[in-house]
Amino acid sequence: MLDGFWLPRSLREQVLEPGTGYATSSFARGRPSAAGQEGAVTVRWPLLREETWPQLLALLGGNRERAPRGEEYWERLGGAMAAAARRLADPGDALHQAAVESLPCYTGYSGAMIAATLQGLDLWNLEQFPAALKLEPTWQAARGWQAMGALPGRLRFTPRRGGSLRARLPGRGQGPLFGPPALADLVLGYGAGNVPGTALLIAFL
């Protein structure tokens, strides 16, 4: 039985009670199956009481306020991902063994493909993410391809309407393409399929 959810340890202790019920789903060869089917993997997630949800959201909000920001965030994230990659790539590590045994069951991919993927986690490179976050494209990108500073490649923006005119107005061409983002109180991510980048982007949000 695997946990199909993740909560920080401190939140688990406050939210998950001894009598908390769980819902379960089982998968084999990438498809839903009965729990007792050969090769099936079963995952569970808690069924929280209605009054527990506001408590959980408040605790998650408090954790977010204490999260590192800026360069510290990227340093800690890079360190954590490197440590996880080392464990997943080590055939003698329990985390690697659990991944090789369970991932083929609920993704449908072969064990050999999963093992090969776990050996290539060093391909993930976070070095350019800080530069991407600092990038502030201007309305000049609506007129043609623009360099992206320290990042490779070029950027082009195609507005739905009026953008090309706005880029040509005096003083507007060098104006920022995007304004400050509206910060969300809650982001709910649902990952369907087998694309690991989706889960990574949800985590960054």
Query: SS3 of 124, please?
Result: coil
Amino acid at site 191? G
Structure tokens at 18: 């001894």
Neighbours of 199 (CB within 10 A): 11
pLDDT in tens for each of the 205 residues of the chain?
888 888 888 888 889 988 899 999 998 887 888 988 888 888 899 999 999 999 999 998 888 888 888 788 888 888 888 888 889 889 899 988 888 888 888 777 888 888 888 887 777 777 777 788 788 888 888 888 988 888 888 988 887 765 555 555 566 667 777 777 777 777 766 655 555 555 555 555 5
What is the distance between the alpha carbons of residues 153 and 164, in angstroms, rounded to a whole number? Answer: 22
Q: How many CA atoms lie within 13 Å of 115's alpha carbon, on the beta-carbon side?
A: 9
Structure tokens at 157: 């923006």
**Quick check: 26 and 33 in contact, CB under 8 A?**
yes
Residues belonging to the chain: 205
